[in-house]
Structure 1
């Protein structure tokens, strides 16, 4: 398998599509929000990109469940392995796992299986009112496999702590959650200079708000009956646009706060990817400033070396 990581706005989808075209591969999404139906613009699905030189590139693990639902890593892992097994049984030699949610990618690469964790009311009450930073610090105490990348609301952080605490207690009882086998993969990571990354994020945010009608997308989700607190739970675009539509913040406040949150999100993504190296993974970095064809050629060279080794 090929795994393609990178921060938001780095061009992961484009490179994955080009590689899939060259290798006869199919794409498995490792994005914790693209799995929700109807959340298209804010999550950057860019489904129009899954076509290259007139050929449609098959993709999986996108639009799995309706917006408004809560979908766990436990559920995503099961869906991933069903899709991955289907691809291998059909003789797809190079499935391409592509996304920015490092926790999802690491979980399948390392072979972790996490339980379907029930709510813990007493823990939730104990954590109520704590700041997001305090919750992140608490979560970091549980060890390597914890998700701090996507956490930009206390609700999501509390749920992550709830999962981590459940696993800690179960492991203390001698239970093992390594059910799925590790997957051998060439790991590529797109990298951008910080200022270029920030520039791309700002330009893309303006495009989504001013030309792609992201506000209309959120209005439609609210009109469909999805509670505002559920959209706020998803964070980033859905959190701040919802708050704007509720009248909690002005348009300018929404833009500035959202822009800052996405910059912070991209920084956390890169922190996670570099942390994977400390945890034993080898990441091969590709300069996202290169023309796309140069990126493809470099990726193919790395693939040939990886296969030879």
Structure 2
């Protein structure tokens, strides 16, 4: 391990930014294991659409990839629990955990130590609030938990109900000891136009590799069109194409634009994390980010 006072590395950034390649290089250099912080890579069979790139890992151990069935729910509570467990197990092997991903909410939950509890579905509660409008339910949620990290929880009825259930469960739960760790956080930064070009190139590559067939196979295996919509942009737009709602050229163009907009939202989320106290060491992605990371780690070690 690098140093007992820096017990993990975190590598974050927008989609198509090269996070996986950097994490693999760092894992080889620092004798590490990689923990994925991606809300879709947990699902089996969702490979090209989620950008797993498993062949790149070679001998590097990885965690929180392919641990849930497509069509099931894997939530923030489960990720935080599983991520902390993976960190502890890697430390026991005297290796360095490297958390790598672009799902901002997952990253923030483990870096800030969100107070999360496992909350089962509460049918009685749902019946009690069934007559409330979305706006009334939204107000009740915000009274309990004013800071909502995921804005879609305030828009879609089912997510709003679930967020309200969880907020009540968390408010009633006994406090727990926080997970204490000292990660060093890095971010990959690209010029906007270059990142958009990388997004389009990667999209074309994955379409050539069979991403449309991947979505067809998931649907044939029982994952509904509605569930595919929930699993993100690639699955949503390809599902629309397969249902005849979009022509192929329309699907590719709209999907590329949507991924570009998503990348902007990721960057906005990371800036918000910084405003709320997370220190992110930004790396120039065009200028050997691995060398930059190694220099910063060495400087950090010297300063201890």
User: Which stretches in structure 1 are left out of the alignment for 5+ residues?
Assistant: none
Assess if the C-alpha contact under 8 Å between 2:153 and 2:163 holds in 1: no
Structure 1 residue 270, shift from structure 2 partner: 0.5
Question: Taking structure 1 as the reference length, what is the TM-score of the superposition?
Answer: 0.84
Structure 1 residue 171, shift from structure 2 partner: 6.1
1:286–1:86 Cα change, 3 Å: same
In the other structure, the counterpart of 1:69 is 72
1:117–1:64 Cα change, 3 Å: same
| Aligned mate of 1:248, from 245, 251, 274 | 245
Please give the per-residue CA displacement for 1:213-237, whole angstroms capped at 9, x wherever unaligned. Answer: 1000011111112212111111201
Assess if the C-alpha contact under 8 Å between 2:187 and 2:283 holds in 1: yes
Q: Are 2:303 and 1:295 aligned?
A: no
Q: Are 2:196 and 1:198 aligned?
A: yes
In the other structure, the counterpart of 2:14 is 7
In the other structure, the counterpart of 2:110 is 108
Q: Are 2:211 and 1:214 aligned?
A: yes
In the other structure, the counterpart of 2:99 is 97
User: Which stretches in structure 2 are left out of the alignment for 5+ residues?
Assistant: 1-7
1:57–1:245 Cα change, 3 Å: same
Structure 1 residue 195, shift from structure 2 partner: 0.5
Q: Distance in 2 between matches of 1:5 and 1:159?
A: 29
Q: Are 2:84 and 1:81 aligned?
A: yes
Q: Which of structures 1 and 2 has the bigger CA Rg?
A: 2
Structure 1 residue 256, shift from structure 2 partner: 2.3
Q: Distance in 2 between matches of 1:101 and 1:127?
A: 30
Q: Distance in 2 between matches of 1:113 and 1:80?
A: 14
- After TM superposition, the structure 1 stretch with the greater mean CA deviation from structure 2, 189-198 or 296-305, is 296-305
In the other structure, the counterpart of 1:224 is 221
- After TM superposition, the structure 1 stretch with the greater mean CA deviation from structure 2, 12-21 or 249-258, is 249-258
Moved over 3 A (4+): 117-128, 141-145, 151-154, 157-173, 175-180
In the other structure, the counterpart of 2:36 is 29
Q: Are 2:268 and 1:266 aligned?
A: no
Structure 1 residue 110, shift from structure 2 partner: 1.4
In the other structure, the counterpart of 2:3 is none
Task: Give the total of aligned pairs.
Answer: 287
What is the Cα-based RMSD across aligned positions, in Å?
A: 2.7
Q: Distance in 2 between matches of 1:75 and 1:243?
A: 30
1:176–1:184 Cα change, 3 Å: farther
Q: Distance in 2 between matches of 1:81 and 1:158?
A: 31
Structure 1 residue 118, shift from structure 2 partner: 4.2
Structure 1 residue 146, shift from structure 2 partner: 1.3
Q: Distance in 2 between matches of 1:185 and 1:212?
A: 36
Q: Distance in 2 between matches of 1:188 and 1:245?
A: 38
Q: Distance in 2 between matches of 1:105 and 1:220?
A: 30
| Aligned mate of 2:298, from 299, 304, 307 | 304
Q: Distance in 1 between matches of 2:133 and 2:293?
A: 44
Structure 1 residue 253, shift from structure 2 partner: 2.4
